[in-house]
Structure 1
Amino acid sequence: MIRLYGIGNCDTCRKARRWLSSAGIDFEWQDFDRHSVEVETVARWLDTAGLETLLNKQSKAWRELTDDQRAAVTASPASAMAQQVRLIKRPVLETSNAVIAGFSTARYAALFDA
């Protein structure tokens, strides 16, 4: 099962959804604003993709954190990111063997041999 996680009004998420659809790839969409993400799911992403890939340090949510709050996020990233989904780089594409944070046509094409 291929799942794409993100925020419905995010331009990058829209681009990823359009790319998958135009490539004829069936996927399940999960909007962070409508459905929360489980801590276990974020932990699985972190195990696969890593904190530096998944944590969106360019986000407004990250920039608004104090140094102590940032330290808390990096100390316990899975629970912090599940509680504050705007800290997650989006979209997150999850397949049975890969997790990709962010959208790149080249990475998607390589993953799906498209």
Structure 2
Amino acid sequence: MRIYGLKNCDTCRAARKALPDAEFVDVRETGVLPDVMEAALAQFGDKLVNTRSTTWRGLSEEERAEAPLDLLAAHPALMKRPLIVNEDSMWLGWDAKTRSALGL
């Protein structure tokens, strides 16, 4: 299992604490493999981009209009977090639904 997120994100910290055996990948340092990002975009669509973040608010209208994969490659902190991947299953965010699906 892998958790993609930011090491200084409180939500990612909560996920890491609850899933201590999962590998953590900091998206600012390592990024997300293109095939994983494409699968996440196919599953979650526009929800993958966090439009409530300060990074989003700092973007111009032209930048916001870019394709989601290009936008996330240029600004990894825009990804809604955490993205949890376990083989063929993916979860986005750390809400009650995700925790329940993971048996927590």
TM-score bin, normalised by smaller chain:
0.7 to 0.9
Q: Alpha-carbon deviation of 1:36?
A: 2.0
1:109 aligns with 2:99: yes
Given that residues 12 and 91 in structure 1 are in contact (C-alpha distance below 8 angstroms), is that contact kept between their aligned partners in structure 2? yes
Q: Give the match for residue 46 of structure 1.
A: 41
Q: Give the match for residue 15 of structure 2.
A: 16
% identical equivalent positions? 33
- AA in 2 matched with 1:111: A
Q: Give the match for residue 56 of structure 1.
A: 50
Q: Alpha-carbon deviation of 1:78?
A: 1.2
1:95 aligns with 2:86: yes
Contiguous gaps of at least 5 residues in structure 2: none
Given that residues 64 and 71 in structure 2 are in contact (C-alpha distance below 8 angstroms), is that contact kept between their aligned partners in structure 1? no
Instruction: Answer with 1 or 2: which has the greater Rg.
Output: 1
Q: Give the match for residue 73 of structure 2.
A: 82
TM-score between both structures, scaled by the size of structure 2? 0.87
- AA in 2 matched with 1:113: G
TM-score between both structures, scaled by the size of structure 1? 0.80
Give the number of aligned pairs.
Answer: 104
Contiguous gaps of at least 5 residues in structure 1: none
Q: Alpha-carbon deviation of 1:79?
A: 2.3
Q: RMSD in angstroms over aligned alpha carbons?
A: 1.6
Given that residues 4 and 29 in structure 1 are in contact (C-alpha distance below 8 angstroms), is that contact kept between their aligned partners in structure 2? yes
Q: Give the match for residue 69 of structure 1.
A: 63
Higher helix share: 1
Q: Alpha-carbon deviation of 1:59?
A: 0.9
- AA in 1 matched with 2:36: T
Q: Alpha-carbon deviation of 1:107?
A: 2.0
- AA in 2 matched with 1:14: R
Q: Give the match for residue 3 of structure 1.
A: 2
